[in-house]
Each structure stands twice: as structure tokens, then as C-alpha cells.
Amino acid sequence: MIRCAECGLGYVPEVLEDAKYHRIYHDKKVNGIRYRRAKSEALIWEEGDFRITVANFFSATCQSVRAQQVGLLAWEDTKFCFGRYHSNEPLDDRNIHNFLLYCKNRVVGLVIAERRSFIEKFTWESWANAGGRQLLDRFREA
Ligand SMILES: [Zn+2]
């Protein structure tokens, strides 16, 4: 087994199915997921080869699924244990909006915006020292 230095996937190149899976995964990871322009896109900006669409609870299912697929791929690049978007989540107070940046027909950027009643920045160490969940409860009470 080898691990691709660019996409990070471990695979066995001599196994045809593995090599094929790597080729597809690698292309998505390195170049962005390819989607055709669709009438269901909510276009909010476009200039040259670039455009930004937004997907939220009220979007067509295919657009929410796009946001989910891109979110999963982006999430793999982060050290966060949360932050992925799930297309089948019910509408709640967060009112999540996914902004997808396309270059031609590939999604190359993602911003997930959601309403929060509070925000706080802390390190994993400070989180653990404060007893994890208790830290959040303290801020909720404030
Ligand atoms: Zn690769």
C-alpha cells in the first residue's frame, strides 16, 4: 500500500479497483468536485470562470447534496471534529447557508455560515482543562 502525497489516500496501485478509486478521489480532492451548471443553482455572483451559489434548507435537494459532498471533502482537510453539513438536517435556528465557489464546473471553495447565539475561541487544551462541555455551559449562562 502507498499513500498519495497530494490527496492523502492510501491505496494499492496494483489492484485495479483501488487504482480507479484513487484516480477519481484524487481528481476531486486536488481539482475540486465537478458539477454541471444547473437551473436549480441559486447564483449570487459570477465573473469570468468563477461563480458563487448558495444552498440552504430551502434549496433543491441536489444543491443541498452538493453542499454536503463538498463539505465532507473539505472537512477531511481540517482538524475539526465538527462542522460538516448534512443535507437532510431539519431547519433549525442556525439557518445554515452553504456558499459554493466554482471555477468553471468545479467547486473550489466552500463557506458554511450559520447563526450562533454565542461564539468563543479556545484551544483544545483550554477546552479539556475546563472540563470540555462545562466550558460551553458557562458561556451559555453568560
Ligand atoms: Zn492522490
From ligand 1's centre to the CA of 20, what distance in Å? 11
Q: In angstroms, what is the span from residue 36 Cα to ligand 1's centroid?
A: 23
Q: How far is the CA of 9 from the centre of ligand 1 (A)?
A: 6
Question: Percent of the chain, pLDDT > 90?
Answer: 64
pLDDT of 139 > 80? The answer is no
| 118 or 14, which is more confident | 14
How confident is the model at residue 135, as a pLDDT?
58
| Ligand 1 center from residue 32 Cα (angstroms) | 13
pLDDT of 77: 78
Sheet holding 97-103, edge to edge: 33-34, 106-113, 97-103, 50-56, 43-47
Place of cell 449570487: 44
* Chain segment 58-72, per-residue pLDDT in tens: 999 999 999 999 999
* Ligand 1 center from residue 7 Cα (angstroms): 4
Q: Compute, in angstroms, the gap from residue 105 CA to the centroid of ligand 1.
A: 20
* CA of residue 72 to ligand 1 center, whole Å: 17
Return residues with CB closer than 5 A to ligand 1 (ion). 4, 6-7, 26
Its pTM surpasses 0.95: no
Q: For all residues of the chain together, what is the average pLDDT? A: 87
Query: pLDDT for 82-132, tens place per residue?
Result: 667 888 888 988 899 999 999 999 999 999 999 888 777 777 777 677 666
